[in-house]
Protein backbone atom coordinates (compact mmCIF):
# COMPACT_ATOMS: atom_id res chain seq x y z
CA UNK A 1 0.00 0.00 0.00
CA UNK A 2 1.39 3.41 -0.98
CA UNK A 3 1.30 6.14 1.67
CA UNK A 4 -0.64 9.28 0.86
CA UNK A 5 1.86 12.02 0.05
CA UNK A 6 2.27 15.01 2.34
CA UNK A 7 0.93 17.23 -0.44
CA UNK A 8 -2.57 16.01 0.56
CA UNK A 9 -2.39 17.97 3.80
CA UNK A 10 -0.90 20.99 2.07
CA UNK A 11 -3.72 20.98 -0.49
CA UNK A 12 -6.47 20.53 2.12
CA UNK A 13 -4.97 23.31 4.24
CA UNK A 14 -4.96 25.59 1.18
CA UNK A 15 -8.59 24.69 0.49
CA UNK A 16 -9.45 25.58 4.09
CA UNK A 17 -7.62 28.92 3.75
CA UNK A 18 -9.66 29.60 0.59
CA UNK A 19 -12.90 28.90 2.48
CA UNK A 20 -11.69 30.97 5.46
CA UNK A 21 -11.59 34.04 3.20
CA UNK A 22 -15.40 33.90 2.94
CA UNK A 23 -17.45 36.30 5.10
CA UNK A 24 -18.47 33.41 7.36
CA UNK A 25 -16.89 31.08 9.89
CA UNK A 26 -14.88 28.27 8.28
CA UNK A 27 -13.90 25.22 10.32
CA UNK A 28 -12.03 22.07 9.40
CA UNK A 29 -13.08 18.68 10.68
CA UNK A 30 -15.07 20.12 13.58
CA UNK A 31 -18.40 19.03 15.02
CA UNK A 32 -21.35 21.26 14.16
CA UNK A 33 -21.50 23.76 17.05
CA UNK A 34 -24.70 24.37 19.04
CA UNK A 35 -25.03 27.87 17.61
CA UNK A 36 -24.46 28.79 13.99
CA UNK A 37 -22.91 32.24 13.50
CA UNK A 38 -25.14 34.90 11.94
CA UNK A 39 -23.21 34.82 8.64
CA UNK A 40 -23.41 31.05 8.38
CA UNK A 41 -20.87 28.30 8.82
CA UNK A 42 -18.69 26.24 6.50
CA UNK A 43 -17.06 23.00 7.64
CA UNK A 44 -14.42 21.29 5.50
CA UNK A 45 -14.15 17.53 6.04
CA UNK A 46 -11.01 15.77 4.81
CA UNK A 47 -12.93 13.09 2.93
CA UNK A 48 -11.39 10.25 0.96
CA UNK A 49 -8.28 10.33 -1.21
CA UNK A 50 -9.15 7.12 -3.01
CA UNK A 51 -6.61 4.95 -4.76
CA UNK A 52 -4.38 6.80 -7.21
CA UNK A 53 -4.18 6.02 -10.88
CA UNK A 54 -0.62 5.20 -11.83
CA UNK A 55 1.27 5.98 -15.01
CA UNK A 56 4.59 4.24 -15.50
CA UNK A 57 6.62 6.44 -17.83
CA UNK A 58 7.45 8.57 -16.01
CA UNK A 59 6.16 7.04 -12.77
CA UNK A 60 3.37 9.28 -11.44
CA UNK A 61 0.45 8.89 -9.05
CA UNK A 62 -2.73 10.77 -10.00
CA UNK A 63 -5.05 11.43 -7.07
CA UNK A 64 -8.71 12.43 -7.10
CA UNK A 65 -9.34 13.32 -3.48
CA UNK A 66 -13.00 13.90 -2.56
CA UNK A 67 -13.36 16.32 0.36
CA UNK A 68 -16.74 17.33 1.82
CA UNK A 69 -17.91 20.88 2.37
CA UNK A 70 -20.85 21.50 4.68
CA UNK A 71 -22.58 24.89 4.49
CA UNK A 72 -25.02 25.76 7.29
CA UNK A 73 -27.24 28.78 8.00
CA UNK A 74 -29.86 29.38 10.67
CA UNK A 75 -32.53 31.93 11.50
CA UNK A 76 -34.72 34.39 9.64
CA UNK A 77 -33.98 34.80 5.97
CA UNK A 78 -32.12 31.53 5.91
CA UNK A 79 -33.09 30.70 2.31
CA UNK A 80 -31.46 33.88 0.98
CA UNK A 81 -28.49 33.52 3.33
CA UNK A 82 -28.08 29.90 2.23
CA UNK A 83 -28.09 30.85 -1.44
CA UNK A 84 -25.54 33.61 -0.79
CA UNK A 85 -23.27 31.23 1.16
CA UNK A 86 -23.36 28.50 -1.50
CA UNK A 87 -22.71 31.03 -4.26
CA UNK A 88 -19.74 32.48 -2.36
CA UNK A 89 -18.23 29.00 -1.94
CA UNK A 90 -18.53 28.35 -5.68
CA UNK A 91 -17.06 31.74 -6.52
CA UNK A 92 -14.13 31.23 -4.12
CA UNK A 93 -13.28 27.86 -5.65
CA UNK A 94 -13.66 29.10 -9.24
CA UNK A 95 -11.34 32.06 -8.57
CA UNK A 96 -8.30 29.78 -8.41
CA UNK A 97 -8.94 26.20 -9.45
CA UNK A 98 -5.32 25.19 -8.80
CA UNK A 99 -5.11 26.61 -5.25
CA UNK A 100 -2.07 28.64 -6.16
CA UNK A 101 -0.51 25.84 -8.20
CA UNK A 102 -0.73 23.20 -5.45
CA UNK A 103 -3.09 20.96 -7.41
CA UNK A 104 -4.19 20.38 -11.00
CA UNK A 105 -7.87 21.21 -10.51
CA UNK A 106 -10.57 21.77 -7.86
CA UNK A 107 -14.11 20.88 -8.85
CA UNK A 108 -17.15 21.33 -6.62
CA UNK A 109 -20.33 19.31 -6.93
CA UNK A 110 -23.73 20.93 -6.69
CA UNK A 111 -24.77 21.24 -3.03
CA UNK A 112 -27.47 18.90 -1.73
CA UNK A 113 -29.65 21.12 0.51
CA UNK A 114 -31.55 19.78 3.51
CA UNK A 115 -33.69 21.43 6.18
CA UNK A 116 -32.80 20.32 9.69
CA UNK A 117 -35.25 21.04 12.53
CA UNK A 118 -33.75 22.05 15.86
CA UNK A 119 -35.82 21.56 19.00
CA UNK A 120 -36.44 24.90 20.71
CA UNK A 121 -34.57 26.96 18.09
CA UNK A 122 -34.77 28.14 14.50
CA UNK A 123 -34.24 25.31 12.04
CA UNK A 124 -31.05 24.95 10.06
CA UNK A 125 -30.65 24.91 6.34
CA UNK A 126 -27.59 22.96 5.33
CA UNK A 127 -25.91 21.65 2.22
CA UNK A 128 -23.50 18.82 1.87
CA UNK A 129 -21.36 18.77 -1.22
CA UNK A 130 -18.31 17.03 -2.46
CA UNK A 131 -15.29 18.83 -3.79
CA UNK A 132 -12.85 16.81 -5.84
CA UNK A 133 -9.23 17.90 -5.83
CA UNK A 134 -7.00 16.46 -8.56
CA UNK A 135 -3.21 16.34 -8.23
CA UNK A 136 -0.24 14.34 -9.40
CA UNK A 137 2.79 13.15 -7.47
CA UNK A 138 5.89 12.12 -9.42
The string of pLDDT tens digits covering residues 93-117 is 999 999 999 999 999 999 899 988 8
Structural domain total, the chain: 1
Residue 138 — pLDDT band, cuts 50, 70, 90? confident
The C-alpha atoms of residue 66 and residue 138 are separated, in whole angstroms, by 20
For residue 47, is it within any domain? yes
- Going by the DSSP 8-state scheme, the letter that residue 32 receives in this structure is P
Q: What is the CATH number of the domain that holds 103?
A: 3.30.2000.10
For residue 133, is it within any domain? yes
For residue 2, is it within any domain? no
The string of pLDDT tens digits covering residues 50-87 is 899 999 989 999 999 999 999 999 988 889 999 999 99
The pLDDT of residue 122 is 77
The string of pLDDT tens digits covering residues 9-43 is 999 999 999 999 999 999 999 999 888 998 899 99
The C-alpha atoms of residue 110 and residue 93 are separated, in whole angstroms, by 13
Structural domain including 104 reads 7-137
For residue 103, is it within any domain? yes
The pLDDT of residue 1 is 42
Residue 6 — pLDDT band, cuts 50, 70, 90? low
For residue 1, is it within any domain? no
Q: Could you give the residue ranges of the DSSP H alpha helices within 4-77?
A: 7-20
Amino acid sequence: MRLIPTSRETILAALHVRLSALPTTALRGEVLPERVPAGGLVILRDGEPGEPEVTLSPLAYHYQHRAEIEAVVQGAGRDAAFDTLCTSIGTALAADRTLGGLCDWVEAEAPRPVDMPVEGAASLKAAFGGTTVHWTVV
